[in-house]
Amino acid sequence: MDERKNHSHSAWDDSVYGTGPTQPPKDKGGMYAALLILIIFLCGIITLLGLLNVKLFQKLRSQEKRDYAISFTACQTEAETVPVTVAQALPPAEASAGLELQQSPISPENVPEQDGLSLQEIYSRSIPSVVSITSTTATGTSSGTGVVLSGDGYLITNAHVVENSTGITVQLTDNRVFPASILGADEISDLAVLRIDTEDLTPAQFGDSSALRVGDTVVAIGDPLGAKFRGTYTDGIVSAINRDVDVNGHTMTLIQTNAALNSGNSGGPLINCYGQVIGINTMKIGTFTSSSGIEGIGFAIPSTTVKEIVDQLITQGYVSGRPTLGLTGESLSIFYQHYYRLPSGLYITHVEKGSDSCEKGILEGDILLSLNDTKITTMNEMKAVLNGMEVGDTLTAVIYRNGQQYSVVLTLTEDKT
């Protein structure tokens, strides 16, 4: 007798080893088959719905075509009906072999206003009186535009074009290049007078800006984005007159125009329809408000202001009555404030000799903290405090030096620089 056949499990044997049951796993083939059938059934339903959608789409397309083919009936009588179809109203265009250019006539003279010059005449008369200006500074170069004031080398431009320059060159429309010197510059009006050594320039004709009206045609000539685009000509209208604009702490009264002005147009002429310079272009909105700028809003200094300032710059090198503290400075960065443990203020880099600031003992390296209780951290903030004040007025300055603060009363003197 085979004892293996009669072997029986002991009471403690539960048919399980330490690694799992010893009995064979259950057969799951039926469950897998059912799942496969369900998937096939769902796929069939999806396919059927897709076919129905395709047929419905085709039906709608054919219905749409039939709708476009509907004929319209004109006014009719009982005896007559006249159908009008879309195909009859819109005959197919004839096929073209390619682009065909027709002969164009020569454009007529564009006369902006009655008795005025054409735009072409304004440009040809004015361009010899426009110059390109390149200013070299300690940090690089900048470019602008200028206007010929006289045949013996006097030029007008913006003060900011030649600000902090170490060298200036002027290029004429005939491509001659001359070094230039500054006879005088006025930051408040943003005007400067230059001089080059030549006697054969073509002076511009200046008109009276007080006669301007909103809507008058004007043009601008200049070097937008530098000398690469020298002599660029743009036109527009006078958008506003006597527009007050705040610039660097003071207010300028300017002509507003939509003639395109961009960086490099500064110092160039704004010209009326008679070829007369009625303004010196100075800036565009966006220059100080955003990097992208705003199109169609530019400004020019009125010729009446130009005459008043330029005449003084030529005769005495400065504009009378401009008040100054005689101080020049730069802002202190957050890094320097923390590293050297300095207060926020305007770090004095230059004290003008003869100014009251010099007489009261203010030194280079001092820090200007406030003027008349107004906190000062930039040159523009200092100029804003001086705006509207006159020579002889006094104000209280708070100065920081060697860890201590002290107050001093300063008297404004006339700026002759």
SS3 state of residue 125 = helix
- Give dist(CA 61, CA 55) in Å, integer: 10
- Give dist(CA 142, CA 148) in Å, integer: 20
- Give dist(CA 202, CA 20) in Å, integer: 109
Residues 6+ apart with CB under 8 A from 378: 331, 346
- For Cα atoms 133, 134, 135, give the angle at the middle one, nearest 5 degrees: 120
Assigned token pair, 56: 């419905």
CB 226 within 8 A of CB 265: no
Per DSSP, the residues of 212-242 read --TT-EEEEEE-TTSGGGTTEEEEEEEEEEE
Provide the residue type at 199 as one letter.
Answer: E
CB 270 within 8 A of CB 222: no
Residues forming the active site: 160, 190, 266
